[in-house]
Structure 1
């Protein structure tokens, strides 16, 4: 439907634009054609009138043939008069010869003498007529006259003067047929063309104009006044009908030419073409709509299939019957991706089910693990209580220390402890291990500032080092010894040193102790972490600038230095982690 709507709007837009442009083109072409025709007709008429003016000039300036004949005392029907008439008639005939647009040329003397060539007949009755009076009044240069009610000719006249007095008139009749041919401009059958003289009289009027549409002379004169100008094109309503009015003013004769072109007639062909375009557009739209429906149905078939499969997955059915979509387009790619996603979803669901099963098993194991330490605490407390009742303080001390040590190991899940808590675990461990050896092992601590005891350190980092010093450094000698734990601050770091006076280590042993990747420190079984593990934990947590350093001399001592960032608050411990 969207494609059909876009197509419909496109067709309507294109059709409308074509129709509007076609109307404007027809109007412009008609105006151009009429304007050019009027201009050519006006120029052709001016050429003929100029030629007539030149002939009149030849007549009025010919004294021996024209002026002397008019002023001659010879009267009709004398022989002398006949000779004069023959001479002037031959002169006029010579002038009008090969001038088919001249129907008659006449010389009329005010004394009653009339000479002419061509037709119609003319005699002295022309004296006193409106035409002659008009010529006498306006013919100092040239005058144009068209008798009202006639369509035979246009008369062009000029005074004949002698000794500053008017003695006659020379008149040339322009054949009206030539004017009709010259102004035969008709872009449509009912177009009208009018030529008006300076007195607003008709010089020419289209004879083929339908009388029902032809406006009267008053209306034409009013239009002429409204559009006064040399070359004007306007659209105007006349008697309720729209016209294109093209006007031209002749600079030579002063005549105004008006062409009236009815818009409905001019655009009748464009209206027919518009209706044809509308019919074709509707047919094309219907064909496109049907074709687009068929194409869209085929194009969306696979989409509907894919949608059906997706809805089944939405409803939780991952084992739906698959409809193969083998197309190579985007829908085919979506289908293959969707199927792979469903298969992956099945695998993940199966994994989730397995994970949930293992999770339930782990929860059961965790519950059992919670029960076992609790049972162990109760058992150790019982041993401690019995040792106290039986007066065995060493067993009571070992049991109490073991309880505290296991509570720290199993009951405290925090990764960071205060240094004070970490030293307490060390003391608990020493209370247990000292009964293993006959000779006493002394453990001393040196704290530079008691405030350092509140600094945060990694859990169970110090105890494995003390354990390693006792078991590997002092224990093998069997002669007792001491362990010194020194705590001090250096710049923004916390430094802890664990020094024993045991048998010491070689450089190879120290390298092996810190570089034996992947092997557990076997003697440190109680804590489950060795020197290497403690070093790696510190490095992973705080970076390469921190960790453990070993210093030893065989047979003399072993010193382990621990470098921590100085962390005084629990929030700061989270920020220092790298």
Structure 2
């Protein structure tokens, strides 16, 4: 088999490989689709059966309760008096008994939403009494209702498109008329509306059918539809709720029904299969369409891969990615004699040369960075030193006070920091403290001429390792070029702010020399990566920050909100040394 597979060309191999990989997935998807469809269909059918059983039980309980109320009413004393003892009752007693009956009939009528009218027919006085009427007995209606029915198996009487439950009382064996007949008329519109609410879908309906008496409530389909459903029901003698599928006039229906032993009726719920199960069929169609489309895509992709010689190029791309992540030990041992042999050989030579150049550049950059830092540390501003010593001289001539002590401490800490050469880096907390010492010295010099606001360093950045002397040169620049000549209203602010994973240190003054041309010129100098530029002051700080943290960090120069210079230092949250 392997030898046969080796003789097949690449394009058929790719197609076969894709099919082998995807066939189990398609098979699993098909099985899951079938299982899911069957599960959903089962849930739908069980739901229909549950609803039919629930609604049928609801009707049985409702009408069973109504019949019990009728039987209780038949034993009412006033009803016995009016039907058998009117000759011993005067007019007022009769009127009182009639009003009592009407009240009871009103209670019966209001006991169920399906009751349209509750009446009692009393032949001895030839009167029909209801909750709101007192009239002569209609003989045809009385004859229709004076029928003995089995209230436990089939209590309904269907007469002239009206539905009744009647109770002749008492039952006499000599064909004599009863003392009275209690009847309740069921509201067919209300019952039909309730049946309509049982079905959620517009393509289905619910109806209550009495096959023996030949009447039904609900359902607008023709008689042929009912006959077709009847044939399905008659073929099933089950007493519990059942579900069948039947085709009527070319349309498939799901039919759920349950026979009522106490009402003699059958509750039928039917819905079109296309409405209930239509979405499942659409999912199956979509599955096969996607399967065919996937097969076409496999053929196209396989052909494209075949044309592009995917495998050798993929190997080469992986090698480039390793180099991109810093792995310079990648090398190919390609034994072929085709064009890829030349590519792989040149790739090996390129990696070796790249490794050599990176080593050379790294060593050179390290030497330059180290030299620049040492040079900056050895520089002491003569102007600042002169002014500081002059202030110290003036304070010494005065009597001893706290200012002289503080100034001497600030000055000694300042010179100790800038002349300490044991390390090229310090913690950010140390750098900030040095900047504060510098500001305190300048406060001695300028007194209340310059107002300084120095923010607090966030605690999460206290131990961040940074190059030495990155904040103090910016403060010195602000004093020298922005604030020194400003006689009143001079302000200097140092703020700390977090920007996502970075820290921003903003030094801003309100000097009057920060015009747009000067700021643009400084920005251009910051963007130029030229070792020939000056390496002191702002440019020096910017370059050292980029050498340590990368090109995305350093200084950003802008015009402040008060019109002066605004220089922002961007530092990362963490750094590795």
Which bracket does the TM-score occupy, shorter chain normalised? 0.3 to 0.5
Q: TM-score, normalised by structure 2?
A: 0.45
